[in-house]
């Protein structure tokens, strides 16, 4: 059964989508079958994976049928069976990665649902029918802690939280962890584990930044990964051109960092860890 991982943070610009995108690409490179779930109305990861379809105003408002069924139908029509889910899963531009995309109709999901159906397990019930088809399911979330976040957590085995090295305090991280803990306690989600947080867009060349990194690692050693993601202009370039990193450049600091992060996360199956280490030039 596939391992489900959510990337959460109520702040924007911290690297949630980039992290899901790069981790998915690395897993696919390791011959793992990956499903990405776009749970963000901005649809950035759907665009990056060439699965975004522009909606007409008429379809956004529900007057005409959409050009593509997507995450909207998962929630509003409460899709459950494997046959139903397969209708909203699409191949992407990267072999081994499928996606349940999002679109501008995402903003209408809650208003289109009856209150009695707005439970925390809508996504969980949907994904259960197709988890056996994938090694990993990666969920990209909007920068918020809302009803969709609750559904994402309830559907997950693990939660990760990317944070920027600058502009984000340990207090803010604690608040996010408190919300996750409250959601788990409220809905008895004992099997959901907070895997860890990691710093993104880091420039470790300055003394001040190195001191802040050390401060995080000393203050919350049980919560923060040792691996941090270095600032890399190639990230912005692949995001603007919608080109996979492994096709665009293998000479990327961020790519190396995400390889190390994936290893540190400890979620790789079989000999995938060894293959990744060999790809990085490690003998053992």
Q: What's the pLDDT tens digit per position in 204-223?
A: 888 878 888 888 877 777 88
Cα 122–Cα 127–Cα 128 angle in degrees, nearest 5 = 100
> What is the predicted pLDDT for the residue at 40?
95
The three-state (H, E, C) secondary structure of 20-52, written as one string: HHHHHHHHHHCCCCEEEEEECCCCHHHHHCCCC
pLDDT-based confidence at residue 7 (cuts at 50, 70, 90): very high
Q: By mean pLDDT, which of 103-107, 109-113, 231-235 is the weakest? A: 231-235
**162, two tokens:** 């990317």
Cα 197 to Cα 167: distance, rounded to the nearest angstrom: 15
Mean pLDDT for the stretch of residues 81-110 = 96
Give the rounded percent of residues in the chain with a pLDDT score beyond 70.
97
pLDDT at 169 > cutoff 70:
no
**pLDDT by residue (tens digit) across 113-141?**
988 888 999 999 999 999 999 999 999 99
pTM of the predicted model over 0.75: yes
pLDDT at 172 > cutoff 90:
no
Cα 16–Cα 46–Cα 74 angle in degrees, nearest 5 = 95
Q: Which fold has domain 3-279?
A: Rossmann fold (3.40.50)
**146, two tokens:** 């809302």
> What is the predicted pLDDT for the residue at 188?
86
**pLDDT by residue (tens digit) across 271-281?**
999 999 998 88
pLDDT at 173 > cutoff 80:
no
> What is the predicted pLDDT for the residue at 251?
81
pLDDT-based confidence at residue 166 (cuts at 50, 70, 90): low
Mean pLDDT for the stretch of residues 165-188 = 76
Residue 32 near residue 5 (C-beta atoms within 8 A): no
Q: By mean pLDDT, which of 14-28, 127-141, 169-183 is the weakest? A: 169-183
Question: Around 67, how many Cα atoms within 13 Å sit in the side-chain half-sphere?
Answer: 11
> What is the predicted pLDDT for the residue at 76?
95
SS3 176: helix
**164, two tokens:** 């920027």
> What is the predicted pLDDT for the residue at 106?
96
**Phi, then psi, of 176 in degrees rounded to 5:** -65, -45
H or E element: which one contains 4? strand 3-7
Q: Where are the domains of the chain?
A: 3-279
């Amino acid at each position: 059964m596939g391992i489900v991982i959510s990337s959460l943070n109520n702040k924007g610009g911290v690297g949630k989508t980039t992290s899901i995108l790069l981790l998915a690409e690395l897993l696919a490179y390791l011959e793992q079958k990956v499903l990405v779930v776009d749970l963000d109305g901005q649809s950035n990861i759907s665009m990056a994976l060439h699965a975004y379809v522009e909606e007409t105003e008429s379809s956004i408002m529900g007057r005409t049928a959409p050009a593509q069924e997507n995450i909207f139908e998962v929630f509003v029509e409460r899709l459950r069976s494997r046959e139903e889910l397969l209708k909203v899963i699409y191949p992407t531009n990267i072999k081994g990665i499928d996606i349940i995309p999002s679109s501008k109709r995402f903003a209408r999901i809650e208003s289109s649902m009856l209150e009695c159906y707005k439970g925390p397990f809508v996504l969980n019930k949907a994904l259960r029918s197709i988890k056996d088809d994938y090694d990993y399911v990666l969920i990209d979330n909007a920068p918020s802690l809302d009803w969709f976040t609750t559904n994402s957590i309830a559907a997950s085995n693990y939660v990760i939280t990317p944070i920027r090295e600058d502009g984000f305090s340990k207090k803010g991280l604690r608040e996010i962890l408190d919300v996750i803990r409250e959601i788990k306690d409220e809905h008895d989600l004992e099997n959901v584990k907070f895997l860890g947080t990691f710093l993104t867009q880091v420039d470790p060349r300055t003394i001040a930044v190195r001191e802040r990194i050390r401060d995080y690692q000393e203050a919350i050693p049980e919560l923060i990964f040792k691996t941090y993601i270095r600032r890399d202009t190639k990230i912005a370039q692949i995001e603007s051109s919608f080109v996979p990193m492994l096709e665009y450049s293998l000479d990327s600091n961020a790519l190396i960092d995400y390889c190390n992060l994936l290893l540190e996360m400890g979620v790789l199956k079989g000999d995938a860890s060894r293959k990744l280490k060999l790809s990085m030039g490690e003998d053992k």
